[in-house]
Amino acid sequence: MKNLQGDLKLVKFGGTPALNPETLTKHNPINEHSISNAVTVLKSGRLSEFVGEWCDEFFGGPWVRELEEKSAELFQSRYAITVNSWTSGLVAAVGAIGIEPGDEIITTPYTMSATATSILHWNALPVFVDIDPSTYNIDVTKIESSITDRSKAILAVDIYGQPADMDEIGAIANKYGLRVITDSAQSPGAKYKGKPAGTLSDIGGYSFNFHKHIHSGEGGICFTDDPDLALNLQLIRNHAEVVVSSKGHTDYVNMLGYNFRMGELEASILVPQIAILEKIVERRNELARLLSLHLSRNAGLELPIVAPDRTHAFYTYAMQIPRHEDSGVSRSEVASALRSEGVPISEGYQNIHLLPVYQKKIAYGTKGFPWKGATNGREIDYSKGICPIAEEMHDSRVLALGLCTYDFTDTQIEQIALAFEKVWNYYY
């Protein structure tokens, strides 16, 4: 370990920034193979080969199929279905499990908004359960108390890159006859008991948008081992209502189709990246270990933990600062000081149950649908205070460093650690 002692004077008192942000390099997994593939597709003029009717091209072109085949093999899933975004993948997944208007799906509020919006999309209702303060994933000990006769599924989120407690979630789901969907947008490359994140539920999947470990600008992929669910996903992805008749498909539940199709260009860019994902995640873990080694000297700073039965993709390195009531120091003060030192730090994660759509219960039209109407079975509480841990993490405790945003060097990690040491010496 290098000696991080030196000029500990904060920038606001005339000190030198610990890190020069101009030296940071944005993460870019697109290699020469991706570029060559993209050029080949561009020269062909065949940027998409999907056809929205029942024929061989219903399943897309050669690059889409190759990406799906290689992903299914690498991630040990029977089926892999590409989509044009993981938001689309979530919408398709909720529809594919046969959700009905007024049904309830249990999920976490500590996530990106699309997790719950995908539920509303089908006129079902999200029910939010608080998080575990150590992993930030849904607290499995609080799920059962939220189950009602209208509960149909659990939508777990592998937040920050660490898988949720899938065995416990699966056991609860089996006990009550619920489906399980996993939103593993941030955790490609992570594993739970040796199995890839996103493949341990009825349907799971990843995001391939521009700030993920591997990406195609926008894109996503769904995984399932169930042939019926796989077909439902493929139909919803590609204009289901047009296709079902000519295919002879007789189950019309949620067969409202969309254009959720991934293009050949995006697929060709992703195919070579699948092979380098493991190396990228290994490097993120190296950086996380180095950062933890240095930051452990800062009293009161709670560092991320990795549960013993899983691995972490470290999309984000999330920490908790001491409570304001104990230290007298606000998170905004600490974050501002760190940014002045050149550290690209962010604060918390949104609590989606507090967004206006849930607070006002207005999603479709002006009359409160789907909360009000013939399909609604009960009043669901979204008031502040229902998920106190998630709210505290968002409001005042969590500082997050996006390890996936930049290709940090070891030296830059040490400079970030120096910035923390300077800030901690002053504030704590």
Looking at residue 3, its pLDDT comes to: 42
Helix pair 227-237, 240-247: axis angle to 10 deg = 130
Residues 192-206: b if buried by 16+ CB within 10 A, e if exposed: beeebbbbbbbbbbb
Q: Would you say 396 and 323 are in contact if contact means Cβ atoms under 8 Å apart?
A: yes
Residue that has been written with the tokens 């998170």 in this structure: 331
pTM of the model: 0.95
Q: If you ran DSSP here, which 8-state letter would residue 302 be given? A: B
Architecture of domain 32-275: 3-Layer(aba) Sandwich (3.40)
CA distances from 268 to 59, 105, 134, 280 (A): 16, 35, 38, 19
Q: What is the distance of C-alpha 409 from the center of its chain?
A: 25
CA distances from 151 to 89, 104, 177, 210, 391 (A): 21, 5, 9, 34, 24
Q: Would you say 76 and 105 are in contact if contact means Cβ atoms under 8 Å apart?
A: no
In 208-349, which ranges are E strands?
A: 220-224, 317-320, 345-347
Provide CATH 3.90.1150.10 ranges for the chain: 11-28+278-349+389-427
Q: In 3-state terms, what secondary structure has residue 36?
A: helix
Q: If we measure between CA atoms, which residue out of 180, 221, 293, 191 comes closest to residue 64?
A: 221
The CATH number of the domain covering residues in 11-28+278-349+389-427? 3.90.1150.10
Cα-flanking dihedrals φ and ψ of residue 253, to 5°? Answer: -65, 120
Provide CATH 3.40.640.10 ranges for the chain: 32-275
Instruction: Provide the token pair at 85.
Output: 């975004």
Secondary structure of the chain: what % helix, strand, coil (to 5)? 40, 15, 45
Q: What is the distance of C-alpha 348 from the center of its chain?
A: 15
Considering only the C-alpha atoms of the chain, give the largest distance between any 2 of them, rounded to a whole number of Å.
74
**Helix or strand holding residue 80 (H, E):** strand 79-83
Looking at residue 4, its pLDDT comes to: 45
Please list the pLDDT of the chain residue by residue as tens digits (428 residues): 334 445 789 998 999 999 999 999 999 999 999 999 999 999 999 999 999 999 999 999 999 999 999 999 999 999 999 999 999 999 999 999 999 999 999 999 999 999 999 999 999 999 999 999 999 999 999 999 999 999 999 999 999 999 999 999 999 999 999 999 999 999 999 999 999 999 999 999 999 999 999 999 999 999 999 999 999 999 999 999 999 999 999 999 999 999 999 999 999 999 999 999 999 999 999 999 999 999 999 999 999 999 999 999 999 999 999 999 999 999 999 999 999 999 999 998 889 999 999 999 999 999 999 999 877 778 999 999 999 999 999 999 999 999 999 999 999 999 999 999 999 999 99
Q: Would you say 424 and 339 are in contact if contact means Cβ atoms under 8 Å apart?
A: no
**Helix or strand holding residue 128 (H, E):** strand 125-128
Q: If we measure between CA atoms, which residue out of 280, 269, 271 comes closest to residue 34?
A: 269
Residue that has been written with the tokens 């399943």 in this structure: 59
Q: If we measure between CA atoms, which residue out of 421, 72, 20, 400 comes closest to residue 230?
A: 72
Q: Would you say 10 and 426 are in contact if contact means Cβ atoms under 8 Å apart?
A: yes
Residue that has been written with the tokens 């920034």 in this structure: 17
